[in-house]
Chain A
Amino acid sequence: MKDITQHTIKVAEAVRKWLQPDNSELKKAIEQTVDERLFSFEDIKFQIRALKENIDSGQIEEWAERAGLGKNKHSVGEKVLCLHAGNLPLVGFQDALGTILSGADYFGKLSRKDPYLLITFLEMLKASGIETEIKYSTDLKDFKNLNADKLLFAGSSESVPAVKNELKRLGSISPETELVIRTAKFSMAYITNEEPEVITDLVEAIFRYGGQGCRSVAAVVSPIRFNNLKCHFQDYIESFWLKNPQHKKPPEALAYQFAYNKAIDRPQAWLDDFLIQESEEFPELDFTLHWIQGDEEKLKELKEKFGSAIQTIYTAGEKIDGIETEFLSQAQRPPLWWEPDGVGLFE
């Protein structure tokens, strides 16, 4: 590759072209995804709009600049294997873009749960004439003997060994492969007031994508008791769901949890497709929000307790001593350079 700056410009141009409203391939992919009930139209639209806003504001160029990409820092010639999860639409976009932006050759294992959207983006980049290699497949076997230099994926303590073993067996990775494995599971919010803007942002941070994804809020710490906010809060949720009907339905285990909460007299709110409960336990079930009455000290205690399972802690702007926070309004609209598990793509 002759010039990484030129490469960045080409990539940015291709991404902008991909996000043009007249991109018929992307439209087709959206239709197919919705037709096959993989994701809701509203969630896809939201994701694409958030990406467009980031890219229109020059975030690709800024990301390259922040990372110091240039003649002396790039990944040209490296083979990067990305295993994309499929829990949200285009959840693999950041890893794919970052890999390609760095000049590395991209090998993407696409999720069978999100097989169409990212392809249109990758095809647009291929057509742009950039020099990096781009290969993708929904079958891991297609990366046999790849011997990647770097592997990116999100996993858990139980899934990671199985994934690593399979990749080693296939020769997709070797003992020398750099592994970037994300294990954070959910985010938390610290809420100190009931301002409409704050509650609107909170509802979006909790309920967008049905609460899926590690940037979604699964636990709220607040000096306000949930029961005092309950009715008010439910109005906001209903208003959100009117515009963004929840696509996925919770498993029966949620009704079981509801019954358990009833049995032990734990305060809760059953919202048909979602459960809010006052509990300090690890929020293990999807479609569940844990509400914890408490102050900054309680937040710190829970941060310690949940450890690396926490992706991000959001506030509506308040600073908390000793805790790094992000704006609640950015929960589902992270900048391109946000660092999952605190690890940047270019480190």
Chain B
Amino acid sequence: MRVSMNAHLVFDRSVSFKEKALQIFEFQKEHNSVYGKFCKALGVSKVKEVHEIPLLPIQAFKDSELRISNIQHPTSTLFFESSGTTGMNRSRHYIADPELYKTSILKGMQQFYDLDDFVVLAYTPGYNSNPHSSLVWMLNVLIEQDKTGLSRFLELGKSLGSEILDDISSKGKRVMLFGAAFGLLDLIDLRKVELPKNSVIMETGGMKTHRREMSKAQLHHTLAEGFNLPKGNVHSEYGMTELLSQAYSFGSEWFHPVPWMKISIRNPENPMVEMPYREEGLIGVIDLANLHSCSFILTGDKGIQNEKGQFQVLGRWNPQNLRGCNFLIDQD
């Protein structure tokens, strides 16, 4: 039997998050064999509250084919893969419904920005050379929706010319410059660029490279200085191959999730339990846009959350801290 679930449910404002999450939980438990086995092994069959829904460790995207079986419609062959070196086991996210991802991207951005005001410039590898990058796919969607035709992927290794900035200004538009942390720093290294004061830098992560390691605050300070913008115009996006929704921060370290996404901070000793506000733990994400894969994800990121549902990413959870003889001031 072929199964389906209406993708409109994900964005339907007339249905509460709780109701949508519980429906999608039942659907995925039933039709995603990996998630179904996970819930069964944990002894979870029925849940009444969102926090009772088990979050599947994110490495399931590496270790298994995580998708709804016998899906009725649509039948896309699109998939995204995490970046990595040759021979490395990569995460793979099968996208049954590219339209759903597209809607999530656009509606997500529109929660926080008036896209009609912006021209998107992406200092990232282009779409043709990276068809399996979810970020590049997302940028392509943002570029294609811009009716002015000024949005584009920028050529890597080439500084940002003043002509393009003049064109954007002359159309009364603002710049939204996307790039990974190291890419944006490279762009500054090429030539100091003075962006119009109303521009937004959208940093998409990738803090650590073989040659650079700096704190988020340092990075944002350097980017603001390098592009001659107020620090409040340096924003961040929290997204990953395994998620079809994003969260954004606006000049602070707190990320705001989109309405169909809910963050919780889980106790690493027992991921079924939520940590109190402002206490560190593993970042758990419920992303309803992951309708055809798995919406209930336990990431490998360390974070905290505040009472408003915003969260901070404090880096990767380092498993090497768990084992062995380890002197800890507060415990020993």
Please provide the chain A residues from 91 to 144 with a CB less than 8 Å away from any CB of chain B in the complex: 91, 109, 111-113, 140
A283 partner residues in chain B, CB cutoff 8 A: 323
A339 to chain B, nearest CB (A): 14
- Cross-chain contact of B325 among A214, A218, A282, A286 (Cβ < 8 A): A214
Task: Tell which of B34-42, B138-146, B305-313 binds the partner.
Answer: B34-42
Contact A83 B326 (CB under 8 A): no
A152 to chain B, nearest CB (A): 10
- Cross-chain contact of B327 among A154, A186, A213 (Cβ < 8 A): A154
A258 partner residues in chain B, CB cutoff 8 A: 41
A-B contact count (CB 8 A): 125
Task: Tell which of B171-179, B251-259, B267-275 binds the partner.
Answer: B267-275
Contact A252 B270 (CB under 8 A): yes
A284 partner residues in chain B, CB cutoff 8 A: 319-320, 322-323
CA distance A264 to B272 in the complex (A): 19
Contact B327 A264 (CB under 8 A): no
Q: Mark A274-301, 1 if CB is under 8 A from B, else 0.
A: 0000000011111000000000000000
Contact B332 A262 (CB under 8 A): no
Contact A157 B318 (CB under 8 A): yes
A251 partner residues in chain B, CB cutoff 8 A: 269-270
B57 partner residues in chain A, CB cutoff 8 A: 256, 260
B328 at the interface (CB under 8 A from A): yes
CA distance A282 to B323 in the complex (A): 10
Contact A112 B37 (CB under 8 A): no
CA distance A111 to B331 in the complex (A): 8
A252 partner residues in chain B, CB cutoff 8 A: 269-273
Contact A260 B323 (CB under 8 A): no
Which residue of the partner chain A has the closest CB to B315?
A158
- Cross-chain contact of A159 among B41, B42, B60, B326 (Cβ < 8 A): B326
CA distance A307 to B14 in the complex (A): 53
CA distance A23 to B38 in the complex (A): 53
B38 partner residues in chain A, CB cutoff 8 A: 259-260, 262-263
Given contacts A218-B323, A284-B322, contact A260 B332 (CB under 8 A): no
B323 partner residues in chain A, CB cutoff 8 A: 185-186, 214, 218, 283-286, 309
Which residue of the partner chain B has the closest CB to A114?
B332
Q: Mark A242-259, 1 if CB is under 8 A from B, else 0.
A: 000000000111011011
Given contacts A258-B41, A263-B60, contact A83 B327 (CB under 8 A): yes
Q: Mark A305-330, 1 if CB is under 8 A from B, else 0.
A: 00001010000000000000000000
Please provide the chain A residues from 42 to 97 with a CB less than 8 Å away from any CB of chain B in the complex: 83-88, 91
Seed contacts A88-B325, A259-B41, A286-B322; 8 additional CB < 8 Å A-B pairs: A159-B327, A159-B329, A184-B324, A186-B324, A252-B269, A259-B42, A284-B319, A284-B322
A267 to chain B, nearest CB (A): 13
Q: Mark B49-62, 1 if CB is under 8 A from A, else 0.
A: 00000101100100
Contact A85 B327 (CB under 8 A): yes
B242 to chain A, nearest CB (A): 15
Contact B63 A266 (CB under 8 A): yes
- Cross-chain contact of B34 among A91, A185, A263 (Cβ < 8 A): A263
A156 at the interface (CB under 8 A from B): yes
Contact A85 B326 (CB under 8 A): yes
Contact A154 B269 (CB under 8 A): no
Interface size on A, residues (CB 8 A): 49
B34 partner residues in chain A, CB cutoff 8 A: 263-264
Given contacts A163-B327, A263-B41, contact A111 B332 (CB under 8 A): yes
* Smallest CB-CB A-B distances: 7 pairs: A284-B319, A252-B270, A185-B324, A259-B41, A263-B38, A154-B325, A262-B41
Given contacts A253-B271, A260-B38, contact A155 B322 (CB under 8 A): no
Given contacts A85-B332, A256-B42, contact A155 B327 (CB under 8 A): yes
A310 to chain B, nearest CB (A): 10
CA distance A182 to B325 in the complex (A): 9
Which residue of the partner chain B has the closest CB to A256?
B271
Given contacts A91-B325, A213-B324, A259-B41, contact A264 B319 (CB under 8 A): no
**Highest count of chain A CB atoms <10 Å: which of B38, B54, B324:** B324
Given contacts A157-B318, A256-B271, A262-B41, contact A112 B331 (CB under 8 A): yes
Given contacts A260-B57, A264-B64, contact A253 B324 (CB under 8 A): no
A41 at the interface (CB under 8 A from B): no
A260 partner residues in chain B, CB cutoff 8 A: 38, 56-57, 60
B25 to chain A, nearest CB (A): 15
Which residue of the partner chain B has the closest CB to A308?
B320
A84 partner residues in chain B, CB cutoff 8 A: 327, 332
Please provide the chain B residues from 225 to 265 with a CB less than 8 Å away from any CB of chain A in the complex: none
B330 to chain A, nearest CB (A): 9
A166 at the interface (CB under 8 A from B): yes
A272 to chain B, nearest CB (A): 15
CA distance A250 to B272 in the complex (A): 15
CA distance A157 to B316 in the complex (A): 12
A162 at the interface (CB under 8 A from B): yes
B138 to chain A, nearest CB (A): 28
A236 at the interface (CB under 8 A from B): no
Contact B320 A309 (CB under 8 A): yes
Q: Mark A154-182, 1 if CB is under 8 A from B, else 0.
A: 11111100110010000000000000001
B230 to chain A, nearest CB (A): 32
Contact B325 A85 (CB under 8 A): yes
Contact A263 B325 (CB under 8 A): no
CA distance A208 to B268 in the complex (A): 24
**Highest count of chain B CB atoms <10 Å: which of A112, A253, A283:** A253
A153 at the interface (CB under 8 A from B): yes
B321 at the interface (CB under 8 A from A): yes
Between-chain CB contacts (< 8 Å), 9 pairs: A83-B327, A84-B332, A85-B326, A112-B331, A156-B320, A159-B328, A185-B324, A263-B41, A264-B60
CA distance A182 to B327 in the complex (A): 10
B177 to chain A, nearest CB (A): 33
